[in-house]
Structure 1
Amino acid sequence: MDVTSTVLDGVLCLLLISAAVVTVSTATPREPTGEGRAPDVASTLATTTATVNYTLTPRSGATSVEVPTRASALDRTAHGTLAELLARAAVGRLAVDGRRLSHARDGLTRSVVRAVGGAIRTNHTRITAVWRPSPDASVRGRVVVGGRPPPDVPVHAATITASSGLPNERSAARAAADERGIEGVADAVAGGVVDGLFPPTRTRVAAGGRDGAVLRHRYRLAERRFGVEEHASLTDDGVDAANERLAAALSDRIERDLREADVPPRAAAEGVRVGRVRIVVRTWP
C-alpha cells in the first residue's frame, strides 16, 4: 500500500492543514455502502481509493520561525486507500503524553473523515485508527470516524492494518533486544520514528529549498515536545545531528514507558509497530 505525495509533503507531514477537497475514486459505489458486517466495512476501507487535495498552511506563531503563507506554493495531493489515508491521519495526530505535537494537520483529518463517510455509512459504525510505535508507548496517534455504539447492543469487530509511512523497525528491535535489552529496543523505535518523520536525504533537500523555513518550524515543534533544548541547524551535517538529538530524547521516553510496563525485551521487540497502524471497525444493529 502506498500513499503518494510530493517530496516536501512527505517531509512536512506533521505541519499540514488540509483543504476540504476530497475525491473518492475507484471501487466506490455511487452511494455510501450500508454499515453491514464489520469485515465488509474493513474490506471497503482496504480496497476503496480516494484522492485528497489540500493546501499546506503551517500555523504562524507556534514557534519563533517565520513560515511562508503563499497557498499557491503549498498545494498538495494525497492518494491511497481509505485505510492508508486513515493511517496517515493517525500519524499526523502524533501526541506525547497526550499533548499533540501540532494541530496543523487537523484539516487533513477532517477531509479523510469525509472521504470515509462518502464510502461508508457510519450511523452504526465506528472506525478507530491507532498508531502506537511500541507497547504502552506514551507516543501515539489516533483518529476516529463515527460515534460510540449504544451500551446495550451486540457489537461486531474486525481489524486491519495499514502502513504508517514510517520504517518497519521490528527486525532492528529484535536484534537490539538481544544485545542491549530494553534500552536497545527503545533506541530502535525512536530512531525509526525520527527518521520516518524527518527522512535524512529528503530533509536535506527540503532544507536547502524555498520551504526550508517550514522545515525548521517543524523541527522546533518536535524539539519542544520531545524535550530537546538545543535548536537544530539544518545546514551541512545539521540534519543528522538534529535527528540524533530528537532520537535520543524520544528513546529516553520510550524506555521509561517500557520499563514502567515491565515488558521483557524480546516481548517489547515483538510488539514494535513503528511501520503499521491498527484500524478497528466496530458495527452494531
Structure 2
Amino acid sequence: MDLRASSTVLDTVVFVLLVGAAVVVLGGLDTAEPADYDRVADETADVLATSTTEVTFERSGTVTDHRLLGVVASTEASPAERTVTVSRRAHGTYAQLLATVAVANVTLGPRSLTGTGGDMEREVTNATARVLPTGEANVEVRATWRAYANATLDRELVVGRRPPPDADLSATAVTVASGFPNVSARTPPDPTYEDVARAVARGVVAGLFPPGPTADALASEGPDRAVVAERYRRASAVLDADTADALAEGNATAANQRLVDALVPRLRADLTAEFDSPEAAARATSLDRVRIVVRTWSP
C-alpha cells in the first residue's frame, strides 16, 4: 500500500490505520431473489476489497496558541488568518479508505471527536460512488464502526441510495481492520466495568492519536503541528478535557492520558447500562474492525 503526501509526519498520523489493514469478504447475507442481485452484491464487495484508488484532500487547523507554531501569533488575527491547510494524498483499496474515513471521524453521540475528516470523506465517498454498478441494480454501501454493541461511540458512513423498507435485498459483508486494538484481548481476567471502559478509551485514543507519530507531529514545526493540535482541541472540547499545556509542550502521552481519563466515566456508565456483566461487555467490543455491507435491490 502506497501512502504519499507533502508531509510524512502528518500522513503517518492520518493514515496509520491503513498500515497492515486486512480485508475479509464474508459472503452473502440474507440474500434474496433474483440471483443477479446476489451476483451484483458479491461482485461489488469484491471490487471494494481488491481494487485500489487514490484520493487527494486537505486538512486544516486553526492556531489558537502561538506556542503551537513556535512563533508569536497575533491575538487580533481573524480565524482565517490563523488557519493552516495541508494537502494530503491516500492510496488503498476502496474498503480500506472507507474504513479509514469511518474511524478518523468517530462520534460520541451526535458529536465528532475530531471533526477533521470532511474533505477526505467527500473524496472517498465520491470515488466509491463512481465504481458502484448502478446500471445493473440499486446499490448501497454502508461502513460501520462501533466500539461495542449499541455503543454511543461509533461512526457510520453510507454511499449510494438507501433501500426502501419493502425492498428485496441481496447483501454481502466485508470486514476491514480498523487499526484500533483488539480490546477484548487486552482486558484483565475477571474485569470490572472500569477495566473495560479504560481499555476501550485507551484503544480509541491511541487509534485516533497514535503516540509515536503524533509526538513527531507535535515536535515538528509548521502546519503539521497545528493540524494535529486542532484534532486534539476538538476532542478535548467534546470530552471536557484540558490538554492545552500538554500540547504546548509537545507531550502526546500526557495529552492522550487526559483524553482517556475524560472518556472513561462516560464509557463506564454506558457499559454498565448496556451489559449484564463486565465479561459480556468485553466480549462485545469491536474496536479493531469496520464492517462494510453492500446491499443491492431491483431498480
Q: 1:109 to 1:151 in 2, by over 3 A?
A: same
SS in 2 for 1:57: strand
Question: What is the CA distance between 1:259 and its match in structure 2?
Answer: 1.0
The letter of the residue matching 1:191 is: R
Question: How do 1:109-188 residues align onto structure 2 when only pairs under 5 Å count?
Answer: 109-122=121-134, 124-173=138-187, 176=188, 178-188=189-199
Instruction: Pick from 196, 200, 213 the counterpart of residue 189 of structure 1.
Output: 200
Question: What is the CA distance between 1:91 and its match in structure 2?
Answer: 1.4
Question: What is the CA distance between 1:111 and its match in structure 2?
Answer: 0.9
Question: How do 1:15-164 residues align onto structure 2 when only pairs under 5 Å count?
Answer: 36-58=39-61, 60=62, 69=83, 71=85, 74-122=86-134, 124-164=138-178
Instruction: Say which structure is richer in strand.
Output: 2
- TM-score, normalised via structure 1 length: 0.80
Instruction: Pick from 216, 226, 232 the counterpart of residue 219 of structure 1.
Output: 232
**Which ranges in structure 2 are unaligned for 5 or more consecutive residues?**
16-35, 67-78
Report the count of equivalent residues. 257
* Kept in 1: contact 2:3–2:11 (CA 8 A): no
| Residues 13-59 of structure 1: CA deviation (Å, up to 9, x unaligned) | 7xxxxxxxxxxxxxxxxxxxx9743222211111111111223233x
**Alpha-carbon distance in structure 1 between the residues aligned to 2:229 and 2:215:** 11
| Residues 105-160 of structure 1: CA deviation (Å, up to 9, x unaligned) | 21211111111122213460111101112222211111100111123321112211
Question: What is the CA distance between 1:70 and its match in structure 2?
Answer: 5.4
- Which consecutive segments of 4 or more residues in structure 1 shift more than 4 A? 63-71
The letter of the residue matching 2:52 is: T
Mean Cα deviation higher: 101-110 or 187-196: 101-110
| Residues 209-257 of structure 1: CA deviation (Å, up to 9, x unaligned) | 1222222222111111122145342366732121111111112211111
- TM-score, normalised via structure 2 length: 0.77
Instruction: Pick from 7, 10, 24 the counterpart of residue 9 of structure 2.
Output: 7
Q: Give yes or no for the alignment of 1:265 onto 2:278.
A: yes
SS in 2 for 1:56: strand
**Which ranges in structure 1 are unaligned for 5 or more consecutive residues?**
14-33
**Alpha-carbon distance in structure 1 between the residues aligned to 2:197 and 2:215:** 25
* Kept in 1: contact 2:140–2:294 (CA 8 A): yes
Question: What is the CA distance between 1:64 and its match in structure 2?
Answer: 6.4
**Alpha-carbon distance in structure 2 between the residues aligned to 1:230 and 1:108:** 26
TM-align CA RMSD: 2.6
* Kept in 1: contact 2:176–2:291 (CA 8 A): yes
